[in-house]
Chain A
């Protein structure tokens, strides 16, 4: 047997082998001289390996790939390639096949190496991430026992090394032929989603159908993004809805991106198409720490931390009833005006999202006076609470901008349980131990003042702008109570405004640390974050807290 030299023909092959592209890899079989018999059989194994790999790369075959493209969707592998840095994807379990033998599933043509999911790890801007990407071309991306096992494997490893997990979902649902095996697979994933929650960030990007039990995996992850027009999330599809409730509804109306980003609040954001979604996911990933043991990332920053923002001095209108856009403040203070908003179309009376201050990731929560006067209601409380808890879990400082007239009154809110839901936001702010900086820009009325990261909930630095009004309620309502029956209500109102419609009552008690010029807000936050970077605070030992769900 002659000495053979194998040069892997393409960079793709090298990549599969986990070899870096620059490495000239020659495999010299003479090394195995003493085991010549092995080398002979090795050749045929090598052929089989190559064949299997090739089959795995093709997924459900060329025809299905083209069908996928026709739908305006990319294949599972194309998605992974776009998401990760070039040549960094290391694939696992390319040879795993499903183990079902019912309904003719064990026939050769029903076996696809790798089955209906691509899994592995790679890098986004140099940082480690674990990825699974469901392959719609193989049995419609349906979840088999093997499919679930592959996902569980990377999730387990992600926790071991402390790196986020990104799921690219495009699956018709359970592999019906596998029955309970498939259901068990889902449960295995759910369990891991739950155990991993708060350990490493988990992100789901819905890029096709995701129905039935499958929806609960994205629902358990930290962030769910969708692709407009090509992705759906629902428990039961339009046909079942029709037969059960007799409602006529399209897929898009029932579980499309618009529904979930604006109405249900299930998804956090939607993007135009696969390419944009993946590119945005890369950008989003840069905001996140890799695990709960890592600090919030700090990027190279060109924006001076002591930059004054003169526009902030005039952003709050003179009349306290007039609206303004909280985003003007957020864009003003953030590095390079860059703000990655979470849930921009849902519960718009609160704004949440990520930005950077002097390069460091921060989470921003702000009441939005432009929508419903910035009041807190059920949806905005839940939206805010979930965001605050994510930041707290992953060491991301929280900056809170307060302009809140109170909780929204009314039967709809009370019957809906505003007490229970409002308590979630209160709970989240109170238990958070990350650096908390609060700026009261205008109104901070009633219980909502307490809730919005007040000094009393362990706010580290609490500022008031000169336009701040911290009081139990607005002048009109207060005067009707305190001065009931008094003739000159207008005079009483003026007196109340003079006493309470300013930052002094809070400042003299030390409930705000300082009254600051709005244009200096960025400079101060940057400075405070630097001070608070080593903040260390722990809550009393407990198995877990009991947030009012």
Chain B
């Protein structure tokens, strides 16, 4: 059909009008303003695409397919049969039970689904089969298009050593180092000295930061060599080691590339992904505060030359480590759509999924490098169902009893694959959504992100909004002074929630007190003739006592209509709100400052949980009389946590290494819990005899379940 063409502004408008006429239904929904590229409906494309993925990325891909008029097929596991991506797709095929190895990684079942639905192409999303060359081969064998690079590129970039060699040859900066079989310790040391300390040692075959060891001297090199060579042999059956320059305080900055099958390749600017925990990205932004145009250009050109070197087609990402002097070194290339691709879409206006589909169909890129802008600033927060208080995030599960995305705010994009009522299960990645905000400046994008996080309602699972929001307002982050070590440096003792300033504490307490008063006033408002005493004047002065952590605060509230004046710590605050007690959000204005809080729970005993500045605070509000009498109430003895071992997260028990009657010593491993591919060793808090064992290998446990009870010594 019509060849791709560059349209003038007027033509674009006409084209859009035409589109609206064509398929009014979703075009308006789908054409949210983040994409400026216009889809040409006359360009022939695939009839039907199968999306071999789940969750938000499956939904994201389906959205673009709908925009392009392509029919979609979802695959799903049995537990996902009600999932959003299944509902969104035109067709859905169940490919197996919940475990990913039996469903989303089950190539036989997915191939069968492709045959059954006659899908012409497969988009693999990220993760699962996206970088699996075997899968790509099988698709090719059946004449089904794989929406991604060809197997050669997947294979070349999938191998750490090979990719580095190719990069070197393509004149891409690589980290000085050695890769190959290291004979013995002495050779390891001489290599390390040649590179210059510090060096990093790891097995070539190991992915990401797994099994990575850092040596600052000969002694540590010796030790690192011993561990890594053992691991290389035992875990991967591949003796090769990687010894390279270790970059202190590095930033993780990556370049998005887009290449077609005709030898054209573009770089779509960078994404700054330095905020990480356990080598997983937490907050990303585009562009980076750190790159100057020159560095950006150099990085972009090197990324493109690498892509060209492997005849790359489709979207891909070249990851670099950047040191404080803006020296950058090639890390690896991801041959797939990245999780954080939306921020690139925001600043360039391109729809990367649409481009991937076009490229897979064999079209040339519309754009030239000069057409790629950096417009504004975009930030992405990865909202996870996890408890950020436990090592910056241990998975949590549950049913989303309430879920409202902050889409009422402008320039907010939420990529999610769940909705109210969805279950976050132990089987899959605990990501709830990618929250993306966009602004003409970085400050604007960050401010919007803070507002969006405050207005994001997620109930039923523990989430990491407290951590995300606290990072966003941290002075170092605001300045752009970040590195991949940001989290451990800023929170050396782990994240413990937002630390209240005096003013913050006053705002929080004042709001809690006013909420209590609003509730008390409402509880007298019976409608109709309810025989309520009329002789009693409505109370307008409230003497309260608020308990936050261990401290008690005397607070007086004067109420006139919806305006409350609060006296505490010798200060007066004016608090106004609609006091809508059914709304999930609690917007208040405190002395002119607007805050969006959330009341997560409240009970008759005066306990309220308020989400303030992202963090949930528990406050007990009592009237002065009840607080006075509360002094006589007995302290309930909390359970002896040293004797009871509880599961810190939902997961399955991999191994139990003790039985009742065994003696265990402090710190000894008692059992291992696995959740979301992470194994956690549970240890004894003290030396004691095992009293009862409540779990066995293979059991599924919920967070807080008792695993093992210890007796007295």
Contact = CB atoms under 8 A, between A and B. Distances in A.
Interface string A300-334: 11111000011111110010000001001001100
Which one of A229, A310, A311 has the highest number of Cβ atoms from chain B below 10 Å of its Cβ? A311
B526 A299 contact: yes
A298 B527 contact: yes
A312 B634 contact: no
Interface in B584-635: 603-606, 622, 625-626, 629-630, 632-634
Given A275-B626, A302-B581, A314 B82 contact: yes
B421 A127 contact: no
Contact of B523 (A20, A125, A230, A311): A125
A297 B530 contact: yes
Nearest to A316: B82
Contacts of A337: 401-402
Contacts of B361: none
Contacts of B531: 127-128, 290, 294
Nearest to B520: A125
B532 interface: yes
A311 B625 contact: no
Interface residues of A, number: 58
Nearest to A310: B420
B264 to A, nearest CB: 44
B421 A72 contact: no
A181 B606 CA distance: 43
Interface stretch (A27-35, A106-114, A277-285): A277-285
A335 interface: yes
Nearest to B581: A302
A69 interface: yes
B234 interface: no
A127 B530 contact: yes
A299 B522 contact: yes
Given A280-B605, A300-B525, A335 B530 contact: no
Given A276-B605, A301-B582, A303-B582, A126 B524 contact: yes
Interface in A262-279: 271-276, 279
Interface stretch (A44-52, A74-82, A436-444, A538-546): A74-82
Nearest to B583: A302
Which one of A123, A275, A309 has the highest number of Cβ atoms from chain B below 10 Å of its Cβ? A275
B629 A78 contact: yes
Contacts of B634: 72, 229-230, 273
Nearest to B579: A302
A282 B520 CA distance: 11
B401 A275 contact: no
B324 interface: no
B581 A318 contact: no
B625 A72 contact: no
Contacts of A88: 533, 536
Given A299-B527, A300-B525, A128 B401 contact: no
Interface in A66-118: 69, 72-74, 78, 81-82, 85-86, 88
A271 to B, nearest CB: 8
A336 interface: yes
Contact of A318 (B81, B403, B604, B622): B81
Nearest to B538: A126
Nearest to A303: B582
Interface in A439-496: none
B357 to A, nearest CB: 30
B249 interface: no
A422 interface: no
A282 B623 CA distance: 14
A331 B604 CA distance: 17
A88 B537 CA distance: 12
B92 to A, nearest CB: 12
A129 B625 CA distance: 20
Nearest to A322: B79
B540 to A, nearest CB: 13
Contacts of A126: 524, 526, 532-533, 536
A69 B533 CA distance: 33
Contact of A127 (B82, B403, B526, B537): B526
A301 to B, nearest CB: 7
A141 interface: no
A284 B604 CA distance: 9
Interface in B204-245: none
A286 interface: yes
Nearest to B536: A126
A123 B527 contact: no
A332 B636 CA distance: 32
Given A20-B535, A123-B536, A273 B399 contact: no
A310 B626 contact: no
A359 interface: yes
A126 B537 CA distance: 10
A442 to B, nearest CB: 14
B224 to A, nearest CB: 49
A302 B523 CA distance: 12
A302 B81 contact: no
Interface string B401-436: 111000000000000000111100000000000000
B420 to A, nearest CB: 4
Given A72-B632, A275-B633, A279-B604, A336 B530 contact: no
A294 B531 CA distance: 9
Contacts of B532: 125-127
A300 B530 contact: no
Interface in A224-283: 229-230, 271-276, 279-280, 282-283
Interface in B442-479: none
A82 B626 CA distance: 7
A351 B537 CA distance: 39
Interface string B628-670: 0110111010000000000000000000000000000000000
B629 A82 contact: yes
B421 A310 contact: yes
Contacts of A275: 605, 622, 626, 629-630, 633
B580 interface: yes
B528 interface: yes
Contacts of A311: 399-403, 419-421
Interface in B75-124: 78, 81-82
A22 to B, nearest CB: 8
A69 B632 contact: yes
A356 to B, nearest CB: 11
B421 A314 contact: yes
Contacts of A81: 625
Given A298-B526, A300-B525, A331-B401, A283 B604 contact: yes
Contacts of A22: 537
Contact of A82 (B399, B530, B535, B625): B625
A336 B582 CA distance: 5
A271 B607 CA distance: 14
Contacts of B403: 311
A81 B629 CA distance: 10
B604 A280 contact: yes
Contacts of B622: 275
Contacts of A128: 531, 533
Q: Would you list the 10 A-B pairs with minimal beta carbon distance, nearest first? A: A311-B421, A72-B634, A303-B582, A283-B604, A302-B582, A300-B525, A126-B532, A273-B633, A311-B420, A314-B421
Given A126-B524, A313-B421, 9 more contacts: A72-B633, A82-B626, A272-B605, A297-B526, A300-B527, A311-B399, A311-B403, A318-B82, A328-B401
Interface of B: 78, 81-82, 399-403, 419-422, 522-528, 530-533, 535-537, 539, 580-583, 603-606, 622, 625-626, 629-630, 632-634, 636
30 contacts: A22-B537, A72-B632, A73-B632, A74-B629, A82-B626, A86-B539, A123-B536, A126-B526, A127-B526, A127-B530, A127-B531, A230-B634, A273-B633, A274-B632, A280-B604, A282-B604, A283-B523, A284-B604, A298-B526, A298-B527, A299-B522, A299-B525, A300-B525, A302-B580, A304-B582, A311-B421, A314-B419, A336-B581, A336-B582, A359-B527
